[in-house]
């Protein structure tokens, strides 16, 4: 099953966000810290690279997941991966603090996951 990024839907949603804020594309480029020519390429149907996608999602508050088609079955992230991502994104934690919490959560998760598997068998 091939994943597909729905570029047109992403661009149209980004455009609606831009219009709601009454901004020009030049201003969007400046605020999102991407080049104006990159925005033009996206408008022409070219897919953004991952850094551009991240910058535009950060600027607009959009989620890239909303524009990815996975066919009939939507992929779901692993719970542990989501927890780690939230820890790493938490501005209240220093990287070493996030890593320490991650180590504890991974250990607890693996312990309870094993116990559950044993208890079910």
Q: How far is Cα 86 from Cα 72, in angstroms, rounded to an integer?
A: 27
CATH number of 4-69: 1.10.260.40
Q: What is the pLDDT along the chain (121 residues), one digit of tens a residue?
A: 566 889 999 999 999 999 999 999 999 999 999 999 999 999 999 999 999 999 999 999 999 988 887 665 556 677 888 888 888 888 888 999 999 999 999 899 888 876 554 445 4
Residues 100, 102, 108, CA angle at the centre, nearest 5°?
110
- Each domain of the chain, given as residue ranges in start order, spans 4-69, 79-120
Q: How far is Cα 31 from Cα 73, in angstroms, rounded to an integer?
A: 35
Q: 117 exposed, middle or buried (CB, 10 Å; 0-12, 13-18, 19+)?
A: exposed
């Amino acid at each position: 099953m091939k994943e597909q990024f729905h570029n047109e839907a992403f661009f149209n949603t980004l455009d609606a966000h831009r219009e709601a804020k009454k901004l020009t594309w030049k201003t969007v480029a400046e605020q999102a810290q991407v080049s104006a020519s990159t925005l033009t390429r996206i408008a022409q149907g070219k897919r953004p690279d991952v850094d551009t996608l991240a910058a535009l999602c950060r600027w607009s508050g959009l989620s890239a997941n909303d524009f990815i088609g996975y066919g009939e079955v939507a992929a779901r992230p692993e719970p542990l991966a989501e927890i780690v991502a939230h820890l790493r994104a938490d501005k209240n934690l220093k990287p070493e603090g996030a890593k320490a919490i991650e180590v504890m959560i991974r250990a607890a998760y693996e312990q309870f996951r094993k116990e559950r598997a044993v208890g079910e068998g």
